[in-house]
């Protein structure tokens, strides 16, 4: 049992020293330092979640105000300036410049408002989520539990499997730390002139024997224990090991997603349902999100499988709009402090009427909106360019923000061990783009034309027709059968390609 193992540990006295007891009014109270820390973290987490929920509608109103303000600046301040500057121009030039600018601004506004609205209102749960989950289970040959008994059995099997993997991982990490400790002690004794090869060999043999015994004990106890992953990981992290300096260092805490295969199904303890690959639980919206990237307070929604395309489009079009706004507001912003503006002020003092004496030079009432619009476009454009460029990189490399950080850690560990790590969800930049934007149109059209359709591919990249959504597979199958009936079957290459459904993800070493 775990409790007896902890009790027999020599370092378990440190856990008892963390307990504090006192008596108030004849009642005895016992506090555990770890429980106090957990309660504090839980309270802080709920407080942050509440703040984020309150902040979401406020940020939506603020973003809508920015869009309305910049639109007002263009249509009611800059556009009259442009018309005044083109008074003596030819009619063709007027139509080209004024009509072109108005058309471009209207197009950008439609794209920004549409993608922002869809990103805010598209939910990552509900009937669409259930439909995609069942299709993914069918494509990955996963027996999705449909009854409470099957669900309880899957949960029990998953917990036992994760516990065994955690113990193996911790045993391997402990063996590695002990070997490093023995090597350090051996090198220290060699520096002192007391080098002994036999002592190092005995120490290594002892370490291996201890690890083997631990694994055997874990295998014997695996079938008789009902575990909860988070609590068990927390309890095991309290077990301490001695470092080379003689201090006590806790074992690194291990989460279940750290020891799972890329295409392996898990179990969500929060929602009590099977957890599809690449999905994470969002603590703000209290839902399980497929291909979760992050929670965005500006969208008041979690960014995931169903609305990631809208989010990336919103960033790109906001960057284009802010760049355009900074360019057209630059000249009036410079003229607002030039001699042209001072001449208009002098003319106002003489006549009492504000007049545009020079092109693209604002009057007093237009000076503040133009200056504020220029600085706002410049600041937001720079910020969104970094964020939008990062997400374009994620789209082309087949990652989410969460997976990017996890892959960075895996690459660092692989580099230290002399190996090379590859993102298991990377299918090449073209297929990665189609994974988000679809395949039924060109890359340019899929990006320019607003669409409310759901993604064409399943969340986990799978090669062949099995990677597509079910309705698309049925459509392609009907087209292929129709072409065969018409006598257009050439060399059976197309039918063979439809039957090839080899998964993309290669088996990886879990433990």
- 3-state secondary structure labels for all residues of 319-342: HHHHHHHHHHHHHHHHHCCCHHHH
254 pLDDT exceeds 90? no
Mean pLDDT for the stretch of residues 463-473: 82
376 pLDDT exceeds 60? yes
45 vs 277 pLDDT, higher one: 277
- Look up tokens 């994470």; give the residue: 280
507 band by pLDDT with thresholds 50, 70 and 90:
very low
How many whole angstroms from its chain centre is CA 151?
Answer: 28
69 pLDDT exceeds 80? yes
CA–CA separation, 226 vs 159, rounded Å? 8
pLDDT of residue 29: 60
Neighbours of 177 (CB within 10 A): 17
CA–CA separation, 478 vs 402, rounded Å? 38
261 band by pLDDT with thresholds 50, 70 and 90:
confident
Mean pLDDT for the stretch of residues 462-488: 70
Query: What crossing angle do the helices spanning 308-335 and 364-397 adopt, rounded to 10°?
Result: 150
pLDDT of residue 443: 80
Q: Is 143 exposed, middle or buried (0-12, 13-18, 19+ CB in 10 A)?
A: exposed
pLDDT of residue 117: 96
Q: What is the pLDDT of residues 381-402, one digit of tens each?
A: 999 999 999 999 999 999 999 9
- Close Cβ partners of 283 (under 8 Å, ≥ 6 residues apart): 45, 49
Q: What is the pLDDT of residues 4-61, one digit of tens each?
A: 444 444 444 444 445 666 566 666 666 566 667 777 877 888 888 888 888 999 999 9
pLDDT of residue 266: 92
Could you tell me the CA-to-CA distances from 139 to 127, 157, 456, 459, 503 in Å, in that order? 19, 22, 14, 11, 9
When the pLDDT of each residue in the chain is averaged and rounded to a whole number, the result is 79
pLDDT of residue 9: 45
Q: Is 416 exposed, middle or buried (0-12, 13-18, 19+ CB in 10 A)?
A: exposed
CB 340 within 8 A of CB 358: yes
226 pLDDT exceeds 50? no
- From 443, 511, 400, select the one nearest 168 (Cα to Cα): 511
214 pLDDT exceeds 70? no
Q: How many residues does the chain have?
A: 511
70 pLDDT exceeds 90? yes
133 pLDDT exceeds 90? yes
314 pLDDT exceeds 50? yes
184 vs 234 pLDDT, higher one: 184
CB 262 within 8 A of CB 425: yes
Percent of the chain with pLDDT over 90: 46
Helices (H), 33-99: 33-73, 79-85, 91-94
253 band by pLDDT with thresholds 50, 70 and 90:
low
Q: What is the pLDDT of residues 143-178, one digit of tens each?
A: 999 899 999 999 999 999 988 988 888 888 888 888
Lowest mean pLDDT among 55-64, 121-130, 314-323, 464-473: 464-473
CA–CA separation, 316 vs 322, rounded Å? 10
- Whether the model clears a pTM of 0.85, i.e. scores above it, the answer is no
Lowest mean pLDDT among 200-209, 435-444, 465-474: 200-209
- Look up tokens 């603590």; give the residue: 283
pLDDT of residue 479: 61
Lowest mean pLDDT among 94-108, 246-260, 363-377: 246-260
């Amino acid at each position: 049992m775990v409790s007896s193992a902890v009790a027999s540990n020599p370092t378990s006295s440190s856990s008892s020293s963390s307990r504090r007891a006192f008596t108030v009014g004849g009642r005895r109270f016992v506090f555990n330092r770890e429980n106090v820390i957990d309660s504090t973290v839980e309270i802080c987490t709920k407080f942050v979640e509440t703040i984020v929920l309150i902040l979401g509608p406020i940020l939506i109103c603020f973003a809508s105000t920015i869009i309305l303000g910049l639109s007002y600046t263009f249509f009611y301040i800059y556009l009259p300036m442009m018309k005044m500057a083109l008074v003596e121009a030819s009619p063709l030039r007027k139509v080209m410049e004024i009509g072109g600018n108005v058309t471009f601004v209207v197009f950008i506004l439609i794209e920004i408002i549409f993608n922002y609205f869809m990103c805010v209102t598209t939910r990552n749960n509900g009937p669409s989520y259930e439909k995609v989950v069942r299709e993914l289970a069918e494509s990955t040959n996963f027996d999705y539990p449909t009854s409470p008994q099957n669900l309880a059995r899957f949960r029990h099997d998953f917990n036992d499997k994760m516990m065994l993997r955690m113990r193996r991982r911790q045993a391997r990490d402990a063996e590695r730390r002990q070997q490093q400790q023995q090597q350090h002690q051996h090198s220290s004794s060699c520096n002192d002139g007391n080098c002994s090869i036999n002592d190092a060999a005995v120490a290594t043999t002892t370490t291996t024997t201890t690890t083997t015994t631990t694994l055997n004990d874990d295998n014997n106890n695996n079938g008789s224990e009902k575990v909860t992953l988070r609590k068990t990981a927390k309890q095991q992290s309290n077990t301490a090991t001695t470092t080379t300096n003689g201090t006590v260092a806790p074992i690194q805490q291990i989460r279940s997603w750290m020891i799972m295969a890329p295409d392996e199904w898990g179990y969500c303890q929060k929602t009590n349902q099977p957890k599809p690959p690449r999905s994470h639980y969002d603590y703000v919206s209290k839902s399980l999100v497929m291909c979760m990237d992050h929670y965005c307070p500006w969208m008041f929604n979690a960014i995931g499988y169903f609305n990631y395309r809208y989010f990336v489009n919103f960033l790109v079009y906001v960057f284009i709009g802010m760049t355009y706004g900074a360019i057209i507001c630059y000249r009036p912003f410079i003229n607002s402090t030039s001699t042209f503006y001072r001449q208009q002020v002098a003319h106002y003092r003489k006549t009492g009427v504000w007049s545009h004496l020079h092109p693209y030079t604002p009057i007093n009432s237009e000076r503040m909106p133009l200056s504020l619009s220029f600085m706002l476009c410049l600041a937001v454009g720079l910020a969104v360019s970094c964020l939008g460029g990062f997400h374009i990189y994620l789209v082309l490399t087949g990652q989410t923000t969460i997976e990017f950080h996890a892959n960075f850690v895996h690459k660092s560990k692989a580099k230290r061990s002399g190996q090379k790590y590859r993102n298991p969800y990377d299918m090449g930049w073209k297929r990665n783009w189609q994974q988000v934007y679809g395949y039924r149109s060109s890359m340019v059209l899929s990006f320019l034309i607003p669409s409310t359709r759901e993604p064409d591919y399943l969340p986990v990249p799978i090669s062949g027709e099995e990677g597509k959504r079910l309705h698309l597979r049925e459509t392609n199958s009907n087209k292929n059968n129709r072409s065969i009936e018409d006598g257009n079957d050439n060399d059976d290459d197309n039918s063979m390609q439809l039957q090839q459904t080899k998964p993309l993800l290669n088996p990886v070493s879990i433990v």
